[in-house]
Amino acid sequence: MREYGQFYIGGQWVDPAQPQPDDVVNPATEQVAGRIALGGTSDVDRAVEAARAAFETFSQTSPADRGELLSRVIEEYKKRAEDLAAAVTEEMGAPAKLATTAQVGMGLGHLVTASKVLADYPFEEDRGTTRIVREPVGVCAFITPWNWPLNQITCKVAPALATGCTMVLKPSEEAPFSAYLLAEIMDAAGVPAGVFNLVNGDGPTVGAALAAHPQVDMISITGSTRAGVEVAKAAAPTVKRVHQELGGKSPNIILDDDAFEKGVKIGAAGVWANSGQSCNAPTRMLVPAARMDEAAAIAKASAEKVTVGDPTGEVKMGPVVSKAQYDKIQGLIQQGVDEGASLVAGGTGRPDGLDTGYYVKPTVFANVSNDMTVAREEIFGPVLVILPYESVDQAIEIGNDTPYGLAAYVSGSDQDTVRKVASRLRAGQVNLNGAAVDLNAPFGGYKQSGNGREWGQTAFADFLETKAVIGYTPAEA
């Protein structure tokens, strides 16, 4: 049983002002795995005050000093890699191999990438007689989710540290263990007191207090579109910077050529990964109408090969994070059946032999129309919907017919055609032919998928203010 009842504020572990114990449930066992304390507005005030005080000195540090600090954080992170992976598996159900290679690996990747970008980032440049200076935005508040906890925390924390910002983190109360360990890593690495602070709590209390706080200069949230809207509303009166990475319902256009089978297989596998709990998962597959049955058969075979079970063992898919999430997914699967989509794999209920744990069957719907609920709503589970198209133009039209715009996918044997399709898709990141993750590629969305960009060099801009010093270099007489 993990007991994490304190917050990390001002370089110390401190007790909450008014402790509110909260159980954290292991989704694989449905048993309480640990206990945290939920904070309140006074805890937020204390953390923000610490961050504000630290900003006065940390904002004046040199890029070289911050580079050394990031190097120490990276070394401490590596030392705790096994602990971090075990925490992620326990708190949100990621299979052990996925937790080690991807969940923990992505966190390390963002830290290393930020360190490399920092080495030669242009914080200052001259344009004629004017010097353009890029300075840290100030105190940043981070609200992060449970699905990729370390990925979503580090892709905010790493550029914030690199650019000289201070911060207060509110991780998801569903998956707080890895965030607590990260605070221990920051402490061990010698991050100056007040630069990194952690306060556990729920969205309506701690999240809302951070968004509205007059001494917070930037609020960055990764979560649902609904939550992003609420944060923006709370932040509006103080005119702070609002940075959002929100929902998605990503189209995956499979072109009609000899790469069709491979494209369907890669697309389906991308839905089963992390139990479908990825905002950029390729959950809306578009295939030529004449090849619908073929696509359905390939996807069905893919779903039926997925091993589901105890995430501490050798399985491809563990549970979803909570009972609430499980119930939501079950309801949407049933709605797909009720609205007339063809269920070709999976369905409601747990997989055979699994009577405990929030396990969902890898599910495939074929012959889906884009007005069906399963094609419109972000299910956030291992549910693939396959839609037909008559022409590439129609596929692009259907692909863009969504309130979201986080990611999109295209596969085909002709690279020029694939590129042309990608150029017409309204999404912040388009993946071609199953390309590997690129941590230097900007990540973020169009439309209701949010604003701003994370990852790599582009992420630095959201943590910096731009100052023009006119006459910095006097003009020659």
> Which residues carry out catalysis?
245, 279
**Residue pair 418/267 in contact by the 8 Å Cβ criterion:** no
Closest CA to 377 of 445, 331, 324: 331
**Residue pair 457/121 in contact by the 8 Å Cβ criterion:** yes
Residue entry with tokens 């696509």: 295
- HEC string of 276-298? HCCCCCCCEEEEEHHHHHHHHHH
DSSP class of residue 443 equals B
What are the beta bridge partners of residue 13? 8
- Phi and psi at 417, nearest 5°, equal -65, -45
Helix (H, G, I), strand (E, B) or coil at 427: coil
Write down the number of H helices and E strands in the chain.
16, 21
| Cα separation, 179 vs 156, whole angstroms | 13
Helix (H, G, I), strand (E, B) or coil at 377: coil
Closest CA to 381 of 335, 329, 334, 331: 329
Instruction: Count Cβ atoms below 10 Å from residue 352 Cβ, excluding itself.
Output: 8
**Residue pair 108/155 in contact by the 8 Å Cβ criterion:** no
Contacts 24+ apart (CB under 8 A), 311-315: 311/28, 311/89, 311/93, 311/94, 311/95, 311/96, 311/99, 312/28, 312/89, 312/96, 313/95, 313/96, 314/97, 315/95
| Cα separation, 405 vs 209, whole angstroms | 28
**Residue pair 343/365 in contact by the 8 Å Cβ criterion:** yes
Residues near 114 by beta carbon (within 8 Å), at least 6 away in sequence = 70, 158, 159, 161, 162, 459
| Cα separation, 377 vs 186, whole angstroms | 38
